[in-house]
Amino acid sequence: MDCRNTSPTAALAQLGQALRYAELPEDVRTIARHSLLDWLSVLLAGWSDPAVQILVAQATERGARPRATLLGSAERLDLVDAALINGTASHVLDFDDAHLASRVHASVVLWPAVVAVGEHRASSGREALTAFVAGLEVQARIAELVGNDHYRRGWHNTATLGSFGATLAAGRLFELEGGTLRHALGLAATLTGGLRAVFGTPCKPLHAGRAAANGITAADLARRGFTAVEDILERPDGYPALVSGNARQELPDTAGRWATRELLFKYHASCYGTQAPVEAALALRAALGGNIPAGELSVEVEPQYLSVCNLPEPRTAMEARFSIRHMVALALAGRSTVDERSFSAAALADPQLTTLRQHLHVAADPALPRAHARLKAGPNLEFGVDASRPEHDPLEQRRRLCAKSAQLLAGRLEAVAIDELQALALAVDTFDDLGQWTGALRRLVRSATVRFSHAEEFH
């Protein structure tokens, strides 16, 4: 759809509302299913995190009408609380998918809203899948309006732009139309927030859950007649103009583009800015047969990553996921970049990892594009990695994501339950009622041997 001849708010509301499952290319549907599988896996793996359990305790104490499933416990809560908690749990490991162009972690803001509202409304799996794609496509285009200055100023795009995507996705499932959906986007703008200054703390995953909850709140309020403004994206005092110094006045021509095709999946449990450095370190280790030189090593990345994931001596598991030095040290030492023990207090104090961190110099190279890295070991060894390109072989992507899922959930679910969970995720669009799908997930979690305690597994 060419959105250039219509006001941005109206054009994006129309774009998100008009998408139909039958019109989605098959590879777009496949990527959406893969995103759901990955989201469920990282959510269950992160469920026992203390921050998540604080939110569960707070919501339970507050009490609410049970209408949507907490996927890690099989309990049910209010729609907004369920989205908040499921979204936060799926981002605590920082191991979920990413859309680099918009700098939004797509699944952790969209799927919590889609699943909560879809379960409550008895939406079909096809409608849920389409709502996810619609939300992703719209938030990616709002990122085009806002521009890169938004992130540079310290905003967290997953929290801010993700709130718009979740609103559009929830609005579809609430069957909002026209001006009502535009008012919902206006409501999202006034609800959203989230600062990069809190990266490395539980507030970052809270941003994801809050964005999903904002989306449901905005769509539901608009459905009930609560009004905002209908032109929040183009007015002189509107959202893009307020939060960015290089905001666009009009949407670019994105006809024929599917932002969903640009979705990237992680295979190391850390910030996306660490993915290319880790891959470069693995290449160096493989080339040297595991014999890492004792001298100084250097890794070069895009300058902005120095303010995002360059914590030199992490003190907590959350900080370790934002430390290029720690993640590269794990890879060089042949340690897992997924296992939670690699982020424990013992790992952070490990003499081998400490020495590797101290001998690793992290620098910026303005010529390097986003998600690229260059690792140097002396004058003759250099490894460059581009982690910005999505996997184009759907079967290979599915294989890697199923392997990641199995690794994350081993010890938490029995092998047969992991297989069932993966099959459920990949078949979501065969269900006529998403409540039946979440019901199957609840039975799976309740009947399986689930051990969510970190103490039991890792300490």
Domain boundary among 343, 367, 386: 386
Give a yes or no: residue 256 inside a domain: yes
Categorize the per-residue pLDDT at 255 as very low, low, confident or very high, splitting at 50, 70 and 90: confident
What is the CATH classification number for the domain harbouring 16? 1.10.4100.10
pLDDT recorded at residue 448: 66
Per-residue b/e over 190-204, b at no fewer than 16 CB within 10 Å? Answer: ebbebebeebbebbb
pLDDT recorded at residue 451: 46
Give a yes or no: residue 299 inside a domain: yes
Average pLDDT over residues 390-397: 94
Categorize the per-residue pLDDT at 3 as very low, low, confident or very high, splitting at 50, 70 and 90: low
| pLDDT, tens digit, 9 for 90 and up, residues 400-443 | 999 999 999 998 899 999 999 999 999 999 999 999 999 999 99
Domain boundary among 235, 262, 289: 262
Categorize the per-residue pLDDT at 139 as very low, low, confident or very high, splitting at 50, 70 and 90: very high
| Alpha-carbon dihedral 171, 172, 173, 174, rounded to 10 degrees | 50
Give a yes or no: residue 160 inside a domain: yes
122 with 40, same domain: the answer is yes
| pLDDT, tens digit, 9 for 90 and up, residues 6-17 | 799 999 999 999
Identify the domain containing residue 322 by its residue range.
Answer: 272-386
192 with 229, same domain: the answer is yes
Structural domains of the chain, count: 2
Contacts 24+ apart (CB under 8 A), 333-337: 333/292, 334/285, 334/290, 337/267, 337/268, 337/269, 337/270, 337/278
Domain boundary among 359, 386, 413: 386
Q: Looking at per-residue confidence, does 271 or 296 come out higher?
A: 271
pLDDT recorded at residue 236: 94
**pLDDT > 70: percent of the chain:** 96
Average pLDDT over residues 301-308: 91
**pLDDT > 90: percent of the chain:** 86
Distance CA 426, CA 260 (A): 16
Categorize the per-residue pLDDT at 213 as very low, low, confident or very high, splitting at 50, 70 and 90: very high
Distance CA 15, CA 198 (A): 33
3-state secondary structure 270-312: CCHHHHHHHHHHHHHHHHCCCCCCCCCEEEEECHHHHHCCECC
Give a yes or no: residue 422 inside a domain: no
181 with 148, same domain: the answer is yes
Evaluate if residue 282 carries a pLDDT over 90. Answer: yes
Distance CA 79, CA 414 (A): 29
| pLDDT, tens digit, 9 for 90 and up, residues 104-120 | 999 999 999 999 999 99
255 with 335, same domain: the answer is no
Helix, strand, coil percent content, the chain, rounded in steps of 5: 60, 10, 35
pLDDT recorded at residue 322: 93
Average pLDDT over residues 132-156: 96
**What is the residue type of 229?**
V
Q: Among 256-265, 372-381, 422-431, 446-455, which stretch is predicted with the lowest mean pLDDT?
A: 446-455
Distance CA 229, CA 225 (A): 12
Evaluate if residue 450 carries a pLDDT over 50. Answer: no
Distance CA 118, CA 125 (A): 8
What is the CATH classification number for the domain harbouring 360? 3.30.1330.120
Tell me the two tokens of residue 115.
């699943």
Evaluate if residue 456 carries a pLDDT over 50. Answer: no
| Alpha-carbon dihedral 245, 249, 252, 258, rounded to 10 degrees | 70
Give a yes or no: residue 404 inside a domain: no
238 with 277, same domain: the answer is no
276 with 258, same domain: the answer is no
Give a yes or no: residue 441 inside a domain: no
104 with 209, same domain: the answer is yes
40 with 157, same domain: the answer is yes
pLDDT recorded at residue 5: 54
Q: Looking at per-residue confidence, does 176 or 458 come out higher?
A: 176
Is 117:174 a contact under the CB 8 Å cutoff? yes
253 with 357, same domain: the answer is no
Evaluate if residue 449 carries a pLDDT over 70. Answer: no
148 with 279, same domain: the answer is no
- Looking at every residue in the chain, the average pLDDT score rounds to 93
Evaluate if residue 458 carries a pLDDT over 90. Answer: no
Distance CA 12, CA 161 (A): 13
Q: CA angle, 132 as apex, 131 and 135 as ends, to 5°?
A: 85
Give a yes or no: residue 84 inside a domain: yes
156 with 219, same domain: the answer is yes
Evaluate if residue 457 carries a pLDDT over 50. Answer: no
Tell me the two tokens of residue 234.
């183009």
211 with 292, same domain: the answer is no
From residue 25, give the alpha-carbon distance in Å to each of 21, 31, 256, 258, 300. Answer: 9, 10, 11, 9, 37
